[in-house]
A and B are shown apart, each in its own frame.
Chain A
């Protein structure tokens, strides 16, 4: 079992829909990261969380430390949101990545 599990693996939605991507982890962490990777490889760090909730524009990230679970929400989704979203956790001396969720927003 992977230490960081994401769901769903793939998600296709219509423009305007509310999107939720989930991340569960099994290790003790100091922080959780949400990353966005567009075709071509460039990675953008969206959020770094250690508790609670953060919002940036149409993106919201939440984390529940007790349940070892985090969610990334996208409101009013747009085709430019199409990308791979990766959850990663900082554990002691390393960072562990989930396999990513491939999101495709249809116009």
Chain B
């Protein structure tokens, strides 16, 4: 059974650019959540999608956005990149069948220069 797949694994962008990250959940999982991990702040919740609807959102500026498609795949977008956006971005999928335990992807490491 395939796990949670995040692409790309590594990304280098320039300040001011925008970036789109992709997350494919485990087959049958309808909930996808996104997290940012930095050395200073640790893991922080970005947002969660369920059946193409954003259910919850963390305390991040509007430059961070996301969406979920009908096949449950999700994308997150960061516009007008800042140096501080350099981080490991993780997504996780979950399902009521796993009692909503999370399965994490390997993450996308974004470096903004």
Contacts and interface: CB of A to CB of B under 8 A. Distances in A.
A and B from one assembly? yes
Interface of A: 31, 33, 35, 40-45, 48, 86, 88, 93-100
Contacts of B113: none
B13 interface: no
B100 interface: yes
Dominant secondary structure at the B interface: strand
A86 B107 contact: no
A42 B44 contact: no
A48 B95 CA distance: 13
A98 to B, nearest CB: 8
A100 B37 CA distance: 12
A45 B55 CA distance: 21
Interface residues of B, number: 22
Contacts of B107: 41-43
Given A48-B100, A93-B56, A42 B106 contact: yes
B45 A95 contact: yes
Nearest to A42: B106
B104 A94 contact: no
A96 B42 contact: no
A100 B102 CA distance: 17
Given A93-B55, A94-B56, A94-B58, A41 B102 contact: no
Interface in B18-50: 33, 35, 37, 42-45
B42 A97 contact: yes
B90 interface: yes
Interface string B98-112: 011111101101000
Interface in B60-75: none
Contacts of A41: 37, 88, 90, 106-107, 109
B56 A48 contact: no
Given A93-B55, A94-B56, A45 B42 contact: no
Contacts of B106: 40-42
A43 B101 contact: no
Given A93-B55, A94-B56, A45 B103 contact: yes
